[in-house]
Structures are given as C-alpha cells and as structure tokens.
Amino acid sequence: MCIVLLTTAHPKYALIVIDNRDEFILRPTSRPHWWSTRASRQPSRTPTPDVSSQQKDANGQTLNSEPEEIQHILSSRDLQRAERGTWLGITKSGHFSVLTNYRELDPGRLCQPVSGQKSRGAMVTSWLENSAERSVGDYVETVMASGGCQGVGGFSLICGKLRRRKGGGEDGLEPMAILSNRAEHPGQIPWIVGKRGETVGLSNAAFDDPVEWPKVKNGKSLVNRVVSEAVEKDINEDELREKLFWVLDQNTLPTHPGKSLEEHLGELKESIFIPPIGDSKHKEDMVKAASNGTTESSHADPEIQESLSKVVGAQRPDPQTMGFATGMYGTQRQTIVLVDWDGNVTYTERALWDPNGNVIERGKGDMTFRFKVEGWED
C-alpha cells in the first residue's frame, strides 16, 4: 500500500516529496525518463471564439493561430496497461502529480473490492499533459464537472503547479489539490502544502479519514525529525536524500511467513516499507522470473523496458485486464523530489528490483534528474 509524504518544513526547500510505490514486484514498469506530448488545451469557462475573425487557408480550413505547446514529462510508466500511466510525475513547466489508491468494497458484492474500467495511472498523466497555462483550480472543477473521477476505483490524486507564491510577506508555494472519487463538488477538495512548516501524508485511505493510519503518522513524524536534524546540522543535499530514503525503508510489518497478500491486508497500514509478501504460488512466480538472470534496470526507454519485462509473459494476464497478481507484492520503487527556492528540482528514483524480480542493492538502482522549473516565478 503506497505512501507519499510531503513537507514544506525545510527552510532551504519550497517542497520535499518522498514516495513508496507498493506493487506486485514483477509488474512491468519503465524507469524514469523524459517523454513529450502535445499539451491539452481544455480550460473550462472559456468563451466561444468569434469564428468570423478566424483566419482560414485557401481551402477554407481554419488556421491555428496558436503555436503548438508540448509538455515535457518526467516519470516512470506502467507498461502493463495501454494507457502507459504513472503514479508520480513532474513536467518542465512545473505540473506535479502523485497518486495513491484505496480499497473500496462493492456493496453489491460482499468483500469484493471496487475496480474501475479507467486507469488510475492515467489520472496522473491527465494533469501532467495539460497546458502550462491551466490553473489547478480550473482543472479540478473541469474534472469534477465532467465526471472524470468516476469509474476509476478508489484513488486520491495530489495535483499542483510548482510556483513560488507571491505576496503575504513570506516565501511560500502555491497550494496543491487532492482529487478523489469521493468528492462530489470542488468545496470538498482539500488543499495542501500552501503553508510553511506543513507536513502531510497520504496512503491507501481517504485524506480526510478520521483515523490516521500508523504508517502515515509515523512517516510524518520521521520526516519532521529528519528535516529538523538536517537544518540543525546543515547537511548537504546528498546526505538529506539518504536520510529521506531511510524514512522510506522503515519496516514495521509483523512477519507471517507463508501468509498471502489478502491475509496481510489489515496490517499493511502499519509499515512505511512493505517487504515482499505472498503465498507459495507468488514465490514460485519469483523463482521462475529470477531464473532468467539479472537484467539491466536503468534503461530509460520504455520500449526496451517492455521487452525486458516479458520474461514471464506466459504467466502474465492480458495487458487490458484490470488486475496483475504475478509474483510477490511489496515496495517496488522509491522516489524523492526536492524543490529549492530557485525552482531547481532534484528527482531521484530508486529501483529495488530488476524486471526479473532480482533484488537490486540499495543505491545501485538509483536514477537522478536535475532541472529548473520553467515559469517558477510567474
């Protein structure tokens, strides 16, 4: 069960984000890389253009007077589904989004989790692909009005635009919204990280759940401790990052060898880090996959990653099916994003397993990207 922790408590950073992606370890997933797409221009409340004033070509076709906008997106991508969605991503223009799922039971099917036809990972890319001119508030209203949060299954989506907030007498960051399929109107949307000294966490429960999960409570406390010690000792960025990875590695899950994922579900809320869990069938899947040998895990090209990840293809479900349950389940990827006051971003993803399910030594599966947010001061 994934967890994301965000803080604005470090005086040298506008925002710090740390994230564990918990998933079936063999689920085909690319490494982080830059990819580009044509930006979506669908703002709500836009007046209908005056067609009489639009220019036309010799054939009477309307000419596009606006230059094409391209969004450059940094993320890993889910290779199991055709949508190529993701759980966390950021653009050069500062769009940021991160997703957590939550388990809802279908009232018509006792104890059966709700699943949707839409890809939750595509919800993340939906915001990332929007025009740099689009405001978060406008996007939220449009998605809710169009029913875009329905038919997806339980989820919470943090979406924001990395911009230094102006005015107010102190440094700050423009707040981010938490979209979910439980909110019925924009007034129910929580807004976070708009204040200094704020630390928030989100896992596989609704953000406004009255009972905070132990892993979230513990994670927030540890992040605050790391930040406090980092400020006191004035440690550098590399040291800070390793201490944040230490937070993501905290394993307090009770051990029950041989128990299935379903039998562990009630306890996953206890631990920030999830070690590999599964029954004998899941262990057999891992052994079969690992028999293909170790595989290079740092290829950025998703097509290469997809070919590498087909080692147990006969055991994998059709990419269009809703589920994937091959191999053990646990923390598969860890991500840290640091944003300083000049809009400089350091994005590091740590892979813990290669595509064949072999353990990667801590640090040897790291990929780091650095760039400056375009429009940070706008």
Full domain range(s) for residue 88 = 3-37+69-372
Instruction: For 327-337, write each residue's pLDDT tens digit.
Output: 999 999 999 99
Of 296 and 367, the one with more pLDDT: 367
Residue at 250 is within a domain: yes
pLDDT for residue 323: 58
pLDDT for residue 214: 96
Enumerate residues 6+ apart whose C-beta is below 8 A from 87: 2, 19, 21, 76, 78, 98, 99, 100, 121, 124
pLDDT for residue 90: 98
pLDDT for residue 101: 84
pLDDT for residue 170: 78
- Quick one: average pLDDT of 22-46? 83
Q: Specify whether the CB–CB gap between 4 and 333 falls below 8 A.
A: no
Q: Specify the number of domains making up the chain.
A: 1
Chain-wide mean pLDDT for the chain?
84
Residue at 59 is within a domain: no
Single pTM value for the model: 0.86
73 pLDDT above the threshold of 70: yes
37 pLDDT above the threshold of 80: yes
173 band by pLDDT with thresholds 50, 70 and 90: very high
Low-confidence winner among 42-56, 160-174, 214-228 (lowest mean pLDDT)? 42-56
Residue 294: give its domain's CATH number.
Answer: 3.60.60.10
151 band by pLDDT with thresholds 50, 70 and 90: low
Of 188 and 233, the one with more pLDDT: 233
CA 35/CA 71 separation, integer angstroms: 8
Residue at 342 is within a domain: yes
Low-confidence winner among 158-167, 239-248, 255-264 (lowest mean pLDDT)? 255-264
Instruction: For 250-270, write each residue's pLDDT tens digit.
Output: 999 988 887 888 888 889 999
49 pLDDT above the threshold of 90: no
Residue at 313 is within a domain: yes
Task: Select from 299, 303, 304, 307 the least CA-distant residue to 367.
Answer: 299
218 pLDDT above the threshold of 80: yes
- Quick one: average pLDDT of 339-365? 97
Q: Counting every residue, how long is the chain?
A: 378
94 pLDDT above the threshold of 50: yes
- Quick one: average pLDDT of 231-237? 98
Neighbours of 140 (CB within 10 A): 23
pLDDT for residue 195: 95
CA 180/CA 178 separation, integer angstroms: 7
Residue at 377 is within a domain: no
pLDDT for residue 114: 39
299 pLDDT above the threshold of 70: no
Q: Specify whether the CB–CB gap between 311 and 375 falls below 8 A.
A: no
Residue at 53 is within a domain: no
CA 63/CA 86 separation, integer angstroms: 34
Dihedral angle sign, alpha carbons of residues 366, 371, 377, 378: negative
pLDDT for residue 198: 98
Residue at 125 is within a domain: yes
310 pLDDT above the threshold of 70: no
pLDDT for residue 208: 84
Residue at 55 is within a domain: no
